[in-house]
Amino acid sequence: MSALSSAERVLRVLRREEPDRIPHFEWIIDRAVREAICPGCTMEEFTLRMGLDAILTAPDFKKERIGAGRWRNEWGMISEDSGEEHSVPLDGPIHSLEDLRRYQPPDLHAPGRYASIERLVQRYKGKLAIGVHLNDVISVPRNLMGFENLLVAFAEQPALVRELVALSVSANLEMAREVARRGADFVFTGDDYASSLGPLISPDMFREFLFPGLKQLFGGIRALGLPIIKHSDGNLMPLLDMILESGIDCLDPIEPQAGMDIGAIKQAYGHRIAIKGNVNCAQTLSFGTERQVVEETREVIRSAAAGGGLILSSSNSIHSGVKPGNYLAMWNAIRMYGTYPIRLGPWSASDTGAAFS
C-alpha cells in the first residue's frame, strides 16, 4: 500500500479499515514532556515535528481569572489550575431549576468562536486529521453544577438533570454543525462516565437520564458526516452496550488500570467500532522501563491491530508524570512495528531508540 496522508490514515481507521500504518496521537501531551523532547515547542509544533496523525482543537471560549489559580469561563464554570494541561472544574452558576431558568448560555455564534478550527483547516486540511473537542451529556451539567451537586441532583432534582442534559445536547449539536461547516474531520467527546471501579452512576440511571440525549446528540453529529471518538476513563463495561448503541465510531482509551482489555474489546466489538488506546500511562509510561514500554506497545498491536481499526496511544494522556524517554519509546515502537501487514518479530534492545526521521 502506498503511504497515506495522516488525514487519510485516521479516517480510514475510523471506518474500521486497514491503513498503511497504525496512526498515533494523544488528547494531551503535557508541556513538561513536550519541553523535554522538543524545547520551546507549542502543541501544534510538537504535532508537526513528531509526525502525529491528528491535530486537535475546540471552540474558543474565553475565561477570566477570579483568584489565585482560579478561573471562570463564559459558561460560568469555575475551575482551578491542576498543575497539568487541564484545569479541575469546581462549581458553576446552576443549583436549582430557578437558576437554570435565569441562566443565559454563551453565544455559540459569537465572533471568533471558531477561529481555531478555521485556522487549522486552512493550514492542515487533507494533511492532518482535524479533531474538535465537544462534550456530550455529563460534562456540561457537571460544569454548571459542580460534580457532587450533580450526583445529588440525580436523586433530588431529576427534572433539573434532564433539562441540563437537554441544554448540553442542544448546544453541542449546534457547535457540531458549525465545525462541520468549517471542515472538521471528526469530533471527540471527553465526558467521563466511570472510575476504575465502575460507572459514576448506575446503568439504570444512565439509561434513564443520559442515554436518550447521548443517542440524540451522536445521531445528529453522524448525520453531519462527522465520525465520533468517544473518550471516557474507567471501567465502562456495565455501560458499554449503551455507549455502542449511541452511535460512536471509536472508543477511547480502554483503560487497563480499570480492568479494560483492549484485545477482548477488539474481538467482541471490532466489527462495530474502531478503538483507541491503550499503553498504560498510570504505570508503564510513568514508572516502567523503555523496554517495558516497547513490550506493552507491541502487545497492544498484537491484540488489537489486525484488520485495522486501531489508533495506538496512551491509556489516557501523556501527563506530566510520564517519562519523556518512555513516550519516545512508545512513539518509536508504533513506527517500527505498526506498518501493515503487521509482522511482530522478536524484540531487541535497539527498539527503545527514538529516531526522528
pLDDT for 168-190, tens place per residue?
Answer: 999 999 999 999 999 999 999 99
Q: Are residues 92 and 228 in the same domain?
A: yes
Whether 246 is covered by a domain: the verdict is: yes
Q: Are residues 82 and 197 in the same domain?
A: yes
Identify the band that residue 355 occupies on the pLDDT scale cut at 50, 70 and 90.
very low
Identify the band that residue 357 occupies on the pLDDT scale cut at 50, 70 and 90.
very low
Rg (CA), the chain: 20
Position of cell 453544577?
145
Identify the band that residue 353 occupies on the pLDDT scale cut at 50, 70 and 90.
low
Q: Are residues 322 and 354 in the same domain?
A: yes
Q: Are residues 182 and 230 in the same domain?
A: yes
Identify the band that residue 351 occupies on the pLDDT scale cut at 50, 70 and 90.
low
Give the residue-averaged pLDDT of 198-204.
Answer: 97
Give the residue-averaged pLDDT of 290-300.
Answer: 98
- Bridge-based pairing state of the strands 274-279 and 310-314: parallel
Q: Are residues 162 and 273 in the same domain?
A: no
Give the model's pLDDT for residue 83. Answer: 87
Inter-axis angle of helices 158-181 and 211-223, nearest 10: 10
Whether 1 is covered by a domain: the verdict is: yes
Q: How many domains are there within the chain?
A: 2
Which is it for the CA torsion 45, 48, 49, 52, positive or negative? Answer: positive
Q: Are residues 230 and 268 in the same domain?
A: no
CB 60 within 8 A of CB 112: yes
Give the model's pLDDT for residue 354. Answer: 42
**In which domain, by residue range, is 268 found?**
1-52+257-357
Give the model's pLDDT for residue 356. Answer: 33
Query: Per-residue pLDDT for 243 more than 80?
Result: yes
Whether 115 is covered by a domain: the verdict is: no
- CA trace torsion 201, 202, 205, 207 (10° rounding): 110
Whether 171 is covered by a domain: the verdict is: yes
Q: CB-hemisphere CA count at 13 Å for 106? A: 21
Domain endpoint, select from 252, 281, 304: 252
One DSSP character per residue, 154-218 reads: HHH-HHHHHHHHHHHHHHHHHHHHHHHHTT--EEEE----EETTEESS-HHHIIIIIHHHHHHHH
Measured between alpha carbons, how far is 23 from 313 in angstroms, rounded to an integer? 9
Question: Which tens digit of pLDDT belongs to each residue from 316-343?
Answer: 999 999 999 999 999 999 999 999 999 8
Give the model's pLDDT for residue 85. Answer: 84
Q: Are residues 290 and 270 in the same domain?
A: yes
Question: Which tens digit of pLDDT belongs to each residue from 13-26?
Answer: 999 999 999 999 99
Measured between alpha carbons, how far is 132 from 173 in angstroms, rounded to an integer? 12
Identify the band that residue 115 occupies on the pLDDT scale cut at 50, 70 and 90.
very high
Whether 90 is covered by a domain: the verdict is: yes
Which is it for the CA torsion 242, 245, 248, 253, positive or negative? Answer: positive
How far, in whole angstroms, is CA 105 from its chain's centroid? 24
Query: Per-residue pLDDT for 345 more than 80?
Result: no
Burial of residue 191 (number of CB atoms within 10 Å: 0-12, 13-18, 19+): buried
Question: Which tens digit of pLDDT belongs to each residue from 45-97?
Answer: 999 999 999 999 999 999 999 999 999 999 999 999 988 888 899 999 999 99
Give the model's pLDDT for residue 344. Answer: 85
Q: Are residues 228 and 266 in the same domain?
A: no
- CA trace torsion 106, 114, 49, 189 (10° rounding): 50
Give the model's pLDDT for residue 1. Answer: 67
Q: In this structure, what CATH number is given to the domain that contains residue 207?
A: 3.20.20.210
Whether 139 is covered by a domain: the verdict is: yes
Give the model's pLDDT for residue 2. Answer: 79
CB 243 within 8 A of CB 219: no
Average pLDDT, the chain: 95
Domain endpoint, select from 229, 252, 275: 252
Q: Are residues 98 and 244 in the same domain?
A: yes
Q: Are residues 205 and 313 in the same domain?
A: no
**Beta bridge mates, 198:** 195
Query: Per-residue pLDDT for 346 more than 80?
Result: no
Whether 118 is covered by a domain: the verdict is: no
Give the model's pLDDT for residue 229. Answer: 98
| Residue 109 region by backbone torsions, left for phi larger than 0, else alpha for psi between -120 and 50, else beta | alpha
Whether 127 is covered by a domain: the verdict is: no
Give the model's pLDDT for residue 86. Answer: 84
Q: Are residues 6 and 37 in the same domain?
A: yes
Identify the band that residue 144 occupies on the pLDDT scale cut at 50, 70 and 90.
very high
Domain endpoint, select from 212, 229, 252: 252
Q: Are residues 288 and 212 in the same domain?
A: no
